[in-house]
């Protein structure tokens, strides 16, 4: 009975939160259903009650990060206005989503491509990058971005800067609310005082 009540207390969301933590610690390849069962404190059959297996958990976890990122592109400030302002909005919001969904985005950024789900995640990441690269191109065409940084490189540096937050940001860190703005200022205005 105790086992049953524990199982009932688990939802896909809470199982996912544990799963993502374990995936990030051990790597997806290095994690077994046994590891997940132990970390969640529920039996493997209880996990199979919710999902078909490890790969479905991965799909749900990276899907959560991807959905949050793609939703940014449909926001009004990303969809209309000067390309450079739309781009800056996307960069700021990408940083916000990264901080809000840190373990999920961290997992997404570490996906390797060994399974169909990983290949799907990489493909959707490329789609997102491509959408942002189109915004960069539009901003360059409008003369809103400096001409001496190649558009493809600009896109990579933007993502490189935002994504580097996962390397050092820890949840609850002081000053987190100002980070997305600071990242956007860094990327668009640069560090040098004027």
Contact footprint for a copy of itself (CB under 8 A) = 84, 143-150, 153-154, 156-161, 163-165, 167-168, 175, 179, 182-183, 185-194
Closest approach, Cβ 80 to a copy of itself, in A, equals 19
Nearer to a copy of itself (CB atom), residue 4 or residue 146 = 146
DSSP states along 75-107: SHHHHSS-HHHHHHHHHHHHHHHHHHTHHHHHH
Q: Which two tokens stand for residue 98?
A: 């990264």
- 55 by Cβ neighbours in 10 Å (0-12 / 13-18 / 19+) ranks as middle
Task: Supply the minimum distance, in Å, between the C-beta of residue 28 and a copy of itself.
Answer: 14
User: What is the nearest approach in angstroms of a copy of itself to the Cβ of residue 136?
Assistant: 8
- Nearest approach, Cβ of residue 17 and a copy of itself (Å): 24
Nearer to a copy of itself, 3 or 25 (CB): 25
What is the C-alpha to C-alpha distance for residues 7 and 154, in angstroms, rounded to an integer? 48
If the CB atoms of residues 56 and 144 are measured against a copy of itself, the closer one turns out to be: 144
What angle separates helix 83-100 from helix 151-163, to the nearest 10 degrees? 30
């Amino acid at each position: 009975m105790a086992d049953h009540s524990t199982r009932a207390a688990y939802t896909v969301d809470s199982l996912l939160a544990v799963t993502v933590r374990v995936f990030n610690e051990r790597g997806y390849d290095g994690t077994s259903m046994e590891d997940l069962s132990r970390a969640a404190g529920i039996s493997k059959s209880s996990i199979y009650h919710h999902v078909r297996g490890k790969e479905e958990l991965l799909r749900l976890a990276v899907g959560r990060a991807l959905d949050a990122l793609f939703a940014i592109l449909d926001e009004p400030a990303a969809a209309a206005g000067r390309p450079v302002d739309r781009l800056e909005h996307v960069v700021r919001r990408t940083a916000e989503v990264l901080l809000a969904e840190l373990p999920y985005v961290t997992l997404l950024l570490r996906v390797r491509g060994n399974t169909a789900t990983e290949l799907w995640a990489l493909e959707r990441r490329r789609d997102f990058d491509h959408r942002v690269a189109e915004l960069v191109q539009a901003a360059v065409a409008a003369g809103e971005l400096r001409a001496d940084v190649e558009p493809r490189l600009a896109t990579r540096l933007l993502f490189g800067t935002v994504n580097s937050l996962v390397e050092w940001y820890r949840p609850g860190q002081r000053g987190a609310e100002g980070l997305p703005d600071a990242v956007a200022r860094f990327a668009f205005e640069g560090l040098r005082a004027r």
